[in-house]
Amino acid sequence: MAANWLYYVASFGVIFISLVTAKCSDCGLSWHRTNGNCYLMVEEPKSFWNAEAYCQRLSRLGRESHLVSIADQQEEDAVEAYAQLSGHSTIWIGYEKDPVVGDGLVYRWTDGSPSVVYEAWAGGEPSGNGEDCGSLRNGHQWNDRGCDNPYPFICEMRGKNV
C-alpha cells in the first residue's frame, strides 16, 4: 500500500516538473534560448527568401519565427557568439532592402521590428549594387548580399513572459 502511494507521488512529481519545464523552456528541441528569445542555426544554405520562408514554417505556440532580427548590442553579441559556433563566415539575418523606398539604402527587418534602432554595418556597407539582403559576416559585421546567394541562417522566435 505504501509502495503504491509513493509511486503516485513520484509520478505526479515527474508530470509536474515536465509541465513546468515545457512552459519555461518553450523554444523546442535544437533551439538555443538567450535573453528570453529562441534561436535556431540552420546549416543548410538557402537563398534569403527561402531561408525566411523556412523560418516562418517553424512558427509555433502563437509565436512567429523569422530570420533573426538584431535589436541592440546585447542581442548582437548573443547572435555573434551563436553564429561563430557554426564556423560559417557568412549567414543570413532578416534585414532586407525596403522595396517601398526604392533606390535608397533603407533596410527593414522581415519580422517588422523597427529598423533604425540598431545597425552594425561593416565599413562601406551597405554597398547596394543589387545586393538587397543582409548578412552577418565573420561573426560580427553586417554586409549586404545578393538575395539569391545560398547561405546558412539563424531563425528567431521572440520570447514570451514565462
Local structure of 74: helix, strand or coil: helix
pLDDT tens, residue by residue, 4-17: 544 444 444 433 33
The predicted structure's pLDDT at residue 9: 41
Q: Alpha carbon of 107 to those of 31, 45, 93, 152: distances in Å?
A: 27, 22, 12, 20
Q: Tell me the whole-structure pTM to 2 decimals.
A: 0.80
Q: Alpha carbon of 134 to those of 78, 139, 152: distances in Å?
A: 18, 13, 12
Other CB atoms within a 10 A radius of the CB of residue 73 amount to 10
Average pLDDT of the chain, as a whole number: 83
Instruction: State the number of CA atoms in the 13 A half-sphere of 139 facing the CB.
Output: 11
Q: C-alpha cell of 117?
A: 534602432
Q: C-alpha cell of 93?
A: 539575418
Task: Report d(CA 31, CA 8) in Å as an integer.
Answer: 33
Q: C-alpha cell of 62?
A: 502563437
Task: Report d(CA 59, CA 116) in Å as an integer.
Answer: 25
The predicted structure's pLDDT at residue 115: 76
pLDDT of 147 above 80:
yes
48-52, 88-92, 98-102, 132-136: least confident range: 98-102
pLDDT tens, residue by residue, 87-96: 999 999 999 9
Which sign, positive or negative, has the C-alpha torsion 148, 87, 64, 31? positive
10-14, 65-69, 145-149: least confident range: 10-14
Find out whether 108 and 131 touch, Cβ atoms under 8 Å.
no
